[in-house]
Amino acid sequence: MSVSSSIARLDLREFDIRTASDYSADGAVVVGVSNRSGSPVAVAWAWDLAQRLNVPLVAVRAYRRPGAASSAFMGTRSLLKRTPQRIAEETNAALIKHVVESIGDEAGHKVVYRVVEGDRRQVLVDSSRNAALLVIDSPPQRRVSADPSFRQSLLLSAKCPVVSMPPRVAGY
């Protein structure tokens, strides 16, 4: 079965938008999934650990709504079509696609998916509350925005142990 047909079978209508402040993952393994790379190694590693511990896997992705400044580039019409709900649904569909590509269709149906509007560091910190473990991917070293202070800040602020995939393991 293809990834696109797997995604089509998932009921996105039951998806709800959460804010960074109202999210908690009791006892779960939480994996932060990058919107750029899809964090395939982190997702696979987190899935394997969640199965060994017999706890849920929660895949989390932070997103931000485009601001008013972007209307000059995107055009007012395209902004009107992208409601907050639609942006969240598109983010959720992309998250599901990345997870299913990493661990397969059957496993992908057992994952809890959460997309949260807000700053990615704060979303991950809030998601770590009551979690057994938080797993994150390393950004590619070649990226100018690959800021080591993001990881350091997350490690110091997280409410649970954090596993950070080293760039070599993550394939970068």
Looking at residue 93, which CATH number applies to its domain? 3.40.50.620
**One-letter identity of residue 52:** R
Judged by phi (left if over 0) then psi (alpha if -120 to 50, else beta), residue 9 lies in: alpha
Read off the pLDDT of residues 45-64 as tens digits, 9 standing for 90 and up: 999 999 999 999 999 999 98
- Predicted confidence at residue 131, as pLDDT, reads 96
Confidence band for 170, pLDDT divided at 50, 70 and 90: low
From residue 15, alpha-carbon distances to 79, 101, 130, 158 in Å are 21, 20, 22, 26
- What average pLDDT score do residues 157-170 get? 84
Model confidence band, residue 143 (pLDDT cutoffs 50, 70, 90): low
Confidence bin at 147 (pLDDT 50/70/90)? low
Which DSSP symbol is given to 139? P
Compare 171 and 168 and report the one with higher pLDDT. Answer: 168
81: helix, coil or strand? helix
The mean pLDDT of the chain is: 79
Q: What range defines the domain where residue 114 resides?
A: 3-170
Give me the numbers of helices (H) and strands (E) for the chain, helices first please. Answer: 9, 6
C-beta separation of 34 from 95 below 8 A:
no
Q: Over pLDDT 70: what percentage of the chain?
A: 68
Stated pTM of the model = 0.76
In the predicted model, what is the mean pLDDT of residues 15-22?
44
Q: What is the pLDDT of residue 94?
A: 96
Torsion angle of C-alpha atoms 70, 72, 77, 83, degrees rounded to 10? 10
What's the pLDDT at 150? 81
Q: How many domains does the chain have?
A: 1
Cα angle 66, 43, 6 (rounded to 5 degrees) comes to 75
- Name, in order, each residue with C-beta under 8 angstroms of 49's C-beta and a sequence gap of 6 or more: 29, 133, 135
